[in-house]
Structure 1
Amino acid sequence: MTEDENYFPESVAATYDESSAAMFMPEAVDPAVAVLAGLAGAGRALELGIGTGRIALPLAGRGVEVHGIELSPAMADRLRAKPGSEAIGVTLGDFATTRAPGTFSVAYLVFNTIMNLTTQDAQVDCFRNVAAHLEPGGTFVIEVTVPQLRKLPPGQNAVPFHVGETRLGFDTYDTATQAMASHHVRVVDGRGSFRSIPFRYVWPAELDLMARLAGMRLRDRWADWSGAPFTAESESHVSVWEKTED
């Protein structure tokens, strides 16, 4: 990603927390923070795409030293305006290649953020960048959806994820390139707006191979942060890889 590919400018950052309110609820945040705090132990945590601090702030509140990498200055500014943010360092840049100071016992990418890297090369670079930050035995955690291609009837490339009176959301897929995009249509006071964000969907087995290329191996995979078993019916997964090489 580059600054030109920053899809979270001030116009988005200003309402990000409200538009993603469900993800800020304790039932969404607390299980993730508990897992990450356990993996961090007495070490440091690195969040890739730290955003406005949804996970970083409560994790720091549990005594974990957190540092973040963030491409969007506007999102980072929203984080810095929140109580407790003074304990969190932020490095601006593309998390596939940007180096943060020091080493870490855990690094993490949540809420489908790995898909913000829209090429396979960039996703591979991300794993290598994380491995360079991790201490030996450190872990890398990703929370991401399983591609919903089973919902695509023959000849169709779109899957709706929200249909309401004032908001419409749908994903489009290109199965030849693994490119996808999320499209958001909103109506406020009778006026409509449209926003589209590109992604690259990635399969669990593909992520495992990226991890191996970076000197990591799969340690755990769950359907969610509670540790529920990952099955063929799971719509998302939380995966943990461990660094095996220095």
Structure 2
Amino acid sequence: MIDIILPELPERELALVSEEFSRPSGHVPPRSAAAPALTGRVALGGPLSVPVTAELVGRVPELKAYVESEANKADRADSAAYHLVHFSVNCTEETGNPQLQTVNLDLTLSADAAGNRRAAFQPVAWSMTPLQLSGELPDTGPAHLGPRLGFVGRHRPAPGTRICLEARRELRSDPGWEIRRTPTARIRGTYRLAMVVRAPRATVSRAAVEVGATVREGHVLRRFRAELPEPLLLAAV
């Protein structure tokens, strides 16, 4: 196992655009009733991508052997490269403003082979951390990368516990996290998130990033979303 320090990342404040308007009754007001952009409430740190190389994990023989074995498949269609991707989401709760009910970070992973040929397979979120949390803020200590480049020591709250942060769609090309307001946990502070992406070698791999939020005003839920203008390029090994 190797400890991965998740550094503080430069942040950008997001202006989330109104996505839809809904009430429990299902009534949808006209477009003119859409809320103004949600600003000053959510900031995104990163994203930052680092290739997982034998040098990066060289202190742990088992991990180094795994990375090298994947690299030695270079002439096979299932040859894979791995990337460590790190984000942070900083949420602000202000007195008098609508409460944040959920905040979502969603990725779309894709890859193109050289010459616009189709990649042998699409990138997936090989492992994600945190997996589930029930406290207000996640641990800010190092992430632990274990055998086969999976995060270890990922906390799972006891059955029946209200989850305030959850990784979603692991092992798929559309992974993400959802932060939820619960009776005991508000959405506030900085949440540090990381994943290992498994991608085909000899490709250009990308991660499109979207951030969404839901706020409540009385019985009305308002949904907002922002998409980063440029996808994150996963650095070649």
> Same-fold call, TM > 0.5?
no
Q: Which has the larger radius of gyration?
A: 2
Q: Decide which structure has greater helix share.
A: 1
Q: TM-score, normalised by structure 1?
A: 0.26
Task: Indicate the structure whose relative CO is greater, using CA pairs within 8 Å and at least 6 residues apart.
Answer: 2
Q: TM-score, normalised by structure 2?
A: 0.27
